[in-house]
């Protein structure tokens, strides 16, 4: 034997008084569509739960029956959804489980994407750095400076690079810095061609022009 639903009880109480849904809607001052939805247990077609409970109490007040058992039945068979509407309990749990599983899957995918992007970025940076020629910075002398015949050349490059100045090799310190002195025997503008070559043969060249005066 099937248990009565909230809608069935409300419908039976109304019909005992021989009141049509249209007349009852006028007495209750709510839409007839709400009356039909209530008595059909179509709570998804109604406003949030707080209004539905108010409608049940209104039925009881107008038709003269105790609303407490009907509200208890409502609490037994229905539960609040995330948006505040009433949802049958047998449907709510699977929906929440599906949402929970979906959230876990989404988080797992997001984690995998973050890991993939992190690894990809690291690999790209390493590859990019390998493809670049060695860095080369010349700190002395400044461009077009007037200098004595002894010109001091200072700079810095990658610690594993080979540095030459005017085709003459220059020793590097452990941090990649270097310093050497070149002697010139004629006055005028001279060029300092500084080259840094890495182990793959990639090369960076910088040129400084210096005015030598005795």
Q: Which helix (H) or strand (E) holds 24?
A: helix 21-28
Tell me which DSSP letter residue 148 carries. Answer: -
Q: Looking at the DSSP assignment, which residues form a beta bridge with residue 205?
A: 195
Structure tokens at 134: 């060695």
- Residue by residue, pLDDT tens for the chain (214 residues) are 457 889 999 999 999 999 999 999 999 999 999 999 999 989 888 888 889 899 999 999 999 999 999 999 888 888 777 777 777 766 544 544 555 566 777 888 888 899 888 888 888 877 776 678 888 999 999 888 888 889 999 999 998 889 999 999 999 999 999 999 999 888 888 889 999 998 888 889 999 998 888 8
Cα–Cα distances (Å) from 199 to 155, 156, 172, in that order, read 19, 17, 15
Q: For residue 101, what pLDDT is reported?
A: 65
Determine the CATH number of domain 136-212. Answer: 2.60.40.10
Is the domain spanning 1-131 CATH 1.10.260.40? The answer is: yes
Q: Which residues lie closer than 8 Å to 147 by C-beta, 6 or more apart?
A: 141, 210, 211, 212, 213
The confidence score (pLDDT) of residue 130 equals 67
Q: What was the pLDDT predicted at 32? A: 93
DSSP 158-214: -TT-EEEETTEEE---TTSEEEEEEE--S-EEEEEEEEEE-TTS-EEEEEEEEEE--
pLDDT confidence of residue 99: 57
Please tell me the predicted confidence (pLDDT) of residue 90: 62
Q: What is the pLDDT of residue 96?
A: 47
Q: How far apart are CA 14 and CA 24, in angstroms?
A: 8
User: Hey, is 3 helix, strand or coil?
Assistant: coil
Antiparallel, parallel or unpaired: β 203-212 and 145-147:
parallel
Residues of each domain in the chain carrying CATH 1.10.260.40: 1-131
Stretch(es) of the chain classified as CATH 2.60.40.10: 136-212
């Amino acid at each position: 034997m099937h248990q009565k639903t909230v809608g069935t009880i409300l419908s039976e109480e109304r019909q005992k008084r021989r009141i049509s849904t249209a007349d009852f809607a006028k007495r209750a001052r709510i839409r007839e569509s709400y009356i039909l939805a209530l008595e059909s247990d179509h709570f998804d077609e109604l406003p949030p739960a707080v209004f539905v409970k108010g409608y049940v109490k209104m039925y009881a007040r107008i038709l003269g029956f105790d609303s407490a058992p009907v509200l208890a039945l409502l609490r037994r068979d229905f539960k609040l959804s995330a948006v505040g509407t009433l949802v049958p309990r047998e449907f709510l749990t699977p929906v929440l489980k599906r949402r929970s599983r979906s959230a876990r899957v989404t988080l797992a995918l997001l984690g995998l994407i973050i890991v993939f992007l992190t690894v990809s970025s690291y690999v790209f940076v390493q590859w990019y750095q390998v493809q670049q020629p060695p860095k080369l910075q010349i700190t002395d002398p400044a461009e077009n400076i007037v200098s004595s015949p002894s010109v001091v050349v200072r700079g810095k490059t990658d610690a594993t690079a080979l540095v030459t100045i005017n085709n003459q090799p220059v020793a590097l310190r452990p941090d990649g810095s270097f310093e050497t002195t070149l002697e010139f025997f004629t006055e005028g503008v001279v060029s300092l061609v500084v080259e840094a070559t890495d182990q793959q043969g990639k090369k960076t060249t910088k040129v400084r022009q210096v005015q030598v005066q005795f």
